Amino acid sequence: MRVIGLFFLNILLISFLFSDEFLFKDESESQRLIFTHDHGGSGEKYYVETMGSGVCLLDYDNDKDLDVYFCQGAALPGWDKNIVLENKLFRNDGGRWMDVTADVGVGDTSYSIGCTCGDVDNDGDTDLYITNFGTDIFYRNNGDGTFTNVTDAAGIKNQSWGSSAAFFDMDNDGLLDLYVTNYVEYSLDKNPWCGDKRTNRRAYCDPDFFTGAEDHLFHNLGNWVFKDVSVSSGIAAQKGKGLGVIPADFDQDDDLDLYVANDKVMNHYYINDGQGSFEENALFTGLGFNENGRAEAGMGVDIGDVNGDGWLDLFVTNFSGESNTIYINSRQGFFSDETFLAGLGQPSLKYLGFGTKLLDLDYDGWLDLFVVNGHVIDNINYFNKDYTHAQRKQVFLNNQNGTFMELSPDQIGDASHLSVGRGAAFGDLDNDGDVDVVIANNNSAANLLIRTGTPNRNWIGFSLEGVQSNQDAIGSRVVIETDGLKQIKYVSTAGSYLAANDKRLLFGLNNYPTAEKITIDWPSGTSDEFTDLKANQYYQIIEGGSISAIHY
Amino acid sequence: MLLLLPLGGQDLTEGQQLLQDGRYHDAVKYYSTILQSYPGNTAVLNGLAEGQHRSGDPMTAIKNYKKSLSIDPQQPDTWISMGNIQYYHQQYPEGEFSYREAVRLEPGNPRAHNNLASVLKEQQKLDQAILHFEKAFELDPQYALACRNLGDIYLRQGKSDFAVQWMKTAVGLDPDNMRGQYWLGKAFYLSGEFDNAKDQYLRILVGKPDLHSVHHDLGLAYFGMRNYGPALDHAKQAIRRNHAIYTYYLSLSRIYASLHNEIMAMAVLDSALNYDRSLAAVWIAKGDIHKTAERYEDALNDYKIASSYNLDDWKGYYKQGVVLYYLGRLDSAQSVLEAAAEKHPHQSGIHHFLGLVHLGKNDLAEAQLYLTIASEKDSVNGDIWFHLGQAYKHLKQFEQARASLENAIGIDSTHAEALYALGQIYTKLDQKEKSQKVLKKFRVVADFEKAEKKLKKQLSLKPSDNDIRRELALLYESRKDFLSAAEIWQQSYFLGDKGATAELERVKEKMK
């Protein structure tokens, strides 16, 4: 019996190893999603060259499929190519992509870094915010397939080096507010020479050379009027070197707190008092540093309940030579860095992580992990033979016991290809119930990773619409219970790096044909509950209890 | 001293004269001839033995001494003479036996005690050696050599105060003895009395300006005083006078490195390697400079070369292991560290880094084992206790983690990592107030270290920039680390900041 048992175990193991359920295929060429980022450099190693760029997923035309917006660089001194560099919007035409930038009016030609999107005015269409090295741009969606630049009119003024941004409702008044992380104080005419003087090899500088810049928090007053509340909210009291941001209700007190990943200085954890004030408390809650008390690079971020205890944990991508970091929520107001215990430490040391997502890839109800990598120093191999500029993505499966296991390159298809990854936006681009990935690579072509492998398990998806709450339902908590397994997710477009994700939520249901109980806690304070929803289907849920299956 | 036994009316004066004149081969012939007629005569045997020893045949000399002693064992001088040959040929146990016989026969003989002590010293039987050196001095209060030897033992034991005391006595008794003056200088240096050491060495150089070892040690004394100009000057003079001694290059490189002049520090080491590329210690010094600058690939290369030239030395392997660990190549790090452990199983650093490697690989039981061993071998190393605390934390043994981390803080109250980890542990143990206190301290320390690191990095790129030095000195002062501040001001002065003198005086006032 034992021999037979071992035999079947080996078969299972072998079948897992050769499984194609996690395969991704880069369809950027075949589907004509052709975008090449140009960092505008000419060999002077301007610091801004190496950090971008970002990408956003949004259904700008409300035709029920996600479109893609890419951020582009701009000419820097010495750049002499004869092309126009502008941000690009591609319309999703179902397996084909069309550059509609010129028609739509979102081709900003500033040096763009990242973007975020959300329905700022609750009119049912998605608006767009671009962070720039220079003045940020705010585009209002006119609802007719075009956008208008309303930056000045809206009272938004961010002229620093903006990086990641996030829309969230900080005071649950039904209007999306805006948090913008700013990186460092830097100007092109003060670009230090960094690198190895002995061999005259120049490299991009270390963030230690620069002072951090203040982040900004803009309160949405309605009617396209925003007020900069950075000072009154307490945000401006801290100066970090912000690269990643994610709003989430970490302490489960029904308001959205903020986590900001800072580059080589303490990360910030702002606890929302619900009244418009934020208290920074990363040091005493274990979120500021890694377990050794070291400030790490801190780029991409995501949140999720990785251990199934109902509380949000946090994942941050870091530099090569540092591990990425997973902070496990102790449920008592503090977090522990359990990266190495989770098996996520050593595998990440060689890589430099940027965009990232916690997502259920095998639909077993447990969150897995996708990390996009790429070094910032293009000649890094000279300084460390183990490192390369272009790096592969990494995918880790949750073992359901506090540890993760990395999938081999063979198992993830084109996701194993090397690239200089930066912003990564995650969403179901083909509406087939699995998550695809669009990656903006630095100074090179973007990737469109379509999930071709399919897990042999069930899933369920939700698209929420607020009524009293903000129309995007950002900040809504969705809890699914099936056969004792409880999964919790929050609606958000934020997270990853310089990106905005699909705000729909996908849950794995293992082999269960239905989700037994679904509870929605809306930001307005109301709740809706549903039972026995059939699997393998998206549902539209409107605040107040209305639910309907979505047919794409 | 040879015994002149009457030989049927003939004395051995002639033989003794030959020995005194240095005509050792003639002396050997002479005594050999007489021995044929008087084979059992100990004086002849002794004379022959001495002649053989002096003419380069020590083993035959020993044979004849033994013959003499078998005839008459009651010859303390003969025991001493034989013991001397054994000592100089590193036959220490045999030499010890010979000298002990001399002492037994003539307990009032200061030379016997001195020589016995010397051979005990070579066998690291230092406590016994001290007793006999002291006895020699007690028997002959003018015995400068015994005083110097005592001073040397205390130097080896790191008891620099005693070393200085005995060396001073030796010099007082024998002021013209250059070796004594030199060793007194060394004793001053090792006890941190750099000014006195400097004076000693200068005194020697007045009479003997070409002594390269004195120039070298004088350079180190000036360096100890952070008087960089003469430090560099004398270190260079040592090399100029004798370019074959690699430790001189190491010292000069060290002085440049302390000035953050990495380029010169490296150039000095490269010039040593131009003479001899197999100097493992120099490759290691190069690796250390690269490692400090976080150029780990270069450091790894240097350490590998060092190991290739000195396969038996654990240091090269150990340092490779450390750098491989920093590079994140844990399997390779483990491999070389294990090789280092085979060569030197008692080295705490090797166990420490093996523990870190296993911690990185999540082999917690192994990590805890190695780190515990390391802590036993080096119980005053805060880093080891910190990492052991981390291992316990990962094993969820929080009380043990707390104890280890508290040990780390006890050794180094500004150990930032340990402070942070302890704060986390206190939180886990629901000791919120303690946690907050420790984390607040951590923040202060971490902010300081970050600022310090930033300035040092800037300095490494611009070693002559006194504005950066000024900032660094003021940073140290803000933390009341006046010693470090003073050192930086001295560097500034050396590099041309005339205003640094006043700042230095100001800081010295604060140090009072």
Residue B146's nearest CA partner among B62, A446, B120 is B120
Instruction: Express each pLDDT in B320-373 by its tens digit.
Output: 999 999 988 899 999 999 999 999 998 999 999 999 999 998 899 999 999 999
Is B464 part of the contact surface with chain A (CB cutoff 8 Å)?
A: no
Instruction: Give A-chain residues touching B359 at CB under 8 angstroms.
Output: 340
Q: Residue A475 and residue A525: Cα distance in Å, rounded? A: 11
- Cis preceding-peptide flag for A408 (omega within 30 of 0): no
Cα distances from A162 to residues A132, A444, B433, in angstroms, run: 5, 21, 38
CB B424 to CB A336 under 8 A? Answer: yes
Question: CB count, 10 Å around CB of B233?
Answer: 15
SS (H, E, C) A429-468: CCCCCCCEEEEEECCCECEEEEECCCCCCEEEEEEEECCC
Is A292 part of the contact surface with chain B (CB cutoff 8 Å)?
A: yes
Is B434 part of the contact surface with chain A (CB cutoff 8 Å)?
A: no
Whether pTM > 0.80 for this model: the answer is yes
Is A197 part of the contact surface with chain B (CB cutoff 8 Å)?
A: yes
Instruction: Give B-chain residues touching A384 at CB under 8 angstroms.
Output: 296-297, 327
Nearest to B329 among A284, A340, A386 (CB): A386
CB B457 to CB A208 under 8 A? Answer: yes
pLDDT in tens, chain B (512 residues): 444 455 554 568 889 999 999 999 999 999 999 999 999 999 999 999 999 999 999 999 999 999 999 999 999 999 999 999 999 999 999 999 999 999 999 999 999 999 999 999 999 999 999 999 999 999 999 999 999 999 999 988 889 899 999 999 999 999 988 889 999 999 999 999 999 999 999 999 998 999 999 999 999 999 999 999 999 999 999 999 999 999 999 999 999 999 999 999 999 999 999 999 999 999 999 999 999 988 899 999 999 999 999 888 899 999 999 999 998 889 999 999 999 999 999 899 999 999 999 999 889 999 999 999 999 999 999 999 999 999 999 999 999 999 999 999 999 999 999 999 999 999 999 999 999 999 999 999 999 999 999 899 889 888 999 999 999 999 999 999 999 999 999 999 999 999 999 999 999 999 88
Is A21 part of the contact surface with chain B (CB cutoff 8 Å)?
A: no
Q: Residue B320 and residue B312: Cα distance in Å, rounded? A: 14
Number of Cβ pairs < 8 A linking chain A and chain B: 71
The number of residues making up chain A comes to: 552
Q: Residue B449 and residue A289: Cα distance in Å, rounded? A: 15
What single letter denotes the amino acid at residue A516? Answer: E
Which residues, numbered 285 to 304 in chain B, qualify as contacts with chain A under a Cβ-Cβ cut-off of 8 Å?
295-297
Q: What is the pLDDT of residue B327?
A: 87
Q: Residue A272 and residue A278: Cα distance in Å, rounded? A: 5
Question: In this structure, which long-range contacts are made by residues A382-388, counting pairs with CB atoms below 8 Å and at least 24 apart in sequence?
Answer: A382/A196, A382/A201, A383/A196, A383/A203, A383/B295, A383/B297, A384/A320, A384/A321, A384/B296, A384/B297, A384/B327, A385/B297, A386/A350, A386/B327, A386/B328, A386/B329, A387/A320, A387/A350, A387/A352, A388/A418
- φ and ψ at residue A525, rounded to 5 degrees: 105, -10
Rounded to a whole number of angstroms, the distance from the CA of A342 to the nearest CA of chain B is 9
Token pair belonging to B194:
């750099």
- φ and ψ at residue B454, rounded to 5 degrees: -60, -45
Question: Torsion-angle region of residue B294: left (phi > 0), alpha (psi -120 to 50) or beta?
Answer: left
CB A197 to CB B461 under 8 A? Answer: yes
Q: Residue B246 and residue B410: Cα distance in Å, rounded? A: 39
Instruction: Give B-chain residues touching A386 at CB under 8 angstroms.
Output: 327-329
Instruction: Give A-chain residues touching B296 at CB under 8 angstroms.
Output: 384
CB A384 to CB B442 under 8 A? Answer: no
Q: Residue A299 and residue A243: Cα distance in Å, rounded? A: 5
Please report which residue ranges of B280-412 form alpha helices under DSSP H: 280-292, 296-309, 314-326, 330-343, 348-360, 364-377, 382-394, 398-411
Best of A323, A349, A405 to disrupt the B interface (most B CBs within 10 Å) is: A349
Instruction: Give B-chain residues touching A349 at CB under 8 angstroms.
Output: 328
Q: What is the pLDDT of residue A317?
A: 98
User: A97: burial class by Cβ within 10 Å (0-12, 13-18, 19+)?
Assistant: buried
Q: What is the pLDDT of residue A197?
A: 76
Instruction: Give B-chain residues touching A286 at CB under 8 angstroms.
Output: 424, 427
Please report which residue ranges of A184-316 form alpha helices under DSSP H: 230-233, 282-285
**Closest chain A residue by Cα to residue B460:** A197
Instruction: Give B-chain residues touching A292 at CB under 8 angstroms.
Output: 390, 417, 420-421
CB A341 to CB B327 under 8 A? Answer: no
Please report which residue ranges of A226-280 form alpha helices under DSSP H: 230-233
Nearest to B419 among A208, A293, A343 (CB): A293
Is A532 part of the contact surface with chain B (CB cutoff 8 Å)?
A: no
**Closest chain B residue by Cα to residue A330:** B428
Q: What is the pLDDT of residue A6?
A: 53
CB B362 to CB A384 under 8 A? Answer: no
Q: Strand A499-500 to strand A55-58: parallel, antiparallel, or no bridges (unpaired)?
A: parallel
Q: What is the DSSP string of A18-60?
A: T--TT-EEE-TTTTT---B------SS--GGGGT---EEEE-T
- Contact call for residues A47 and A472 (beta carbons, < 8 A): no
Is B230 part of the contact surface with chain A (CB cutoff 8 Å)?
A: no
CB A284 to CB B295 under 8 A? Answer: no
CB B390 to CB A291 under 8 A? Answer: yes
So what's the ipTM on this one? 0.88
Best of B424, B444, B449 to disrupt the A interface (most A CBs within 10 Å) is: B424
- Contact call for residues B271 and B246 (beta carbons, < 8 A): no
Instruction: Give B-chain residues touching A294 at CB under 8 angstroms.
Output: 417
Instruction: Give B-chain residues touching A293 at CB under 8 angstroms.
Output: 416-417, 419-421, 442, 446
**Crossing angle between the packed helical segments B110-122 and B144-156, to the nearest 10 degrees:** 20
3-state helix, strand, coil in chain B (%, to 5): 80, 0, 20
Q: Residue A238 and residue A256: Cα distance in Å, rounded? A: 19
Token pair belonging to A117:
């999107």
Contact partners, residue A101, CB within 8 Å, separation at least 6: A86, A87, A88, A89, A107
The number of residues making up chain B comes to: 512
Is A29 part of the contact surface with chain B (CB cutoff 8 Å)?
A: no
CB A350 to CB B361 under 8 A? Answer: no
pLDDT in tens, chain A (552 residues): 555 555 555 555 555 555 788 999 999 999 999 999 999 999 999 999 999 999 999 999 999 999 999 999 999 999 999 899 999 999 999 999 999 999 999 999 999 999 999 999 999 999 999 999 999 999 999 999 999 999 999 999 999 999 999 999 999 999 999 999 999 999 999 998 888 877 888 889 989 889 999 999 999 999 999 999 999 999 999 999 999 999 999 999 999 999 999 999 999 999 999 888 999 999 999 999 999 999 999 999 999 999 999 999 999 999 998 999 999 999 888 999 999 999 999 899 999 999 999 999 999 999 999 999 999 999 888 888 889 999 999 999 999 999 999 999 999 999 999 999 999 999 999 999 999 999 999 999 999 999 998 888 999 999 999 999 999 999 999 999 998 889 999 999 999 999 999 999 999 999 999 999 999 999 999 999 999 999 999 999 999 999 999 998
**Crossing angle between the packed helical segments B500-511 and B482-494, to the nearest 10 degrees:** 160
CA-CA-CA-CA torsion for B203, B208, B209, B215, nearest 10 degrees?
-70
Q: What is the pLDDT of residue A382?
A: 85
- Strand-pairing partners, residue A165, are A180
CB A345 to CB B360 under 8 A? Answer: yes
Residue A269's nearest CA partner among A316, A207, A232 is A316
**Crossing angle between the packed helical segments B228-241 and B246-258, to the nearest 10 degrees:** 160
Sheet arrangement for strand A242-248: A242-248, A257-262, A268-272, A278-280
- Contact call for residues B351 and B342 (beta carbons, < 8 A): no
- φ and ψ at residue B460, rounded to 5 degrees: -70, -25
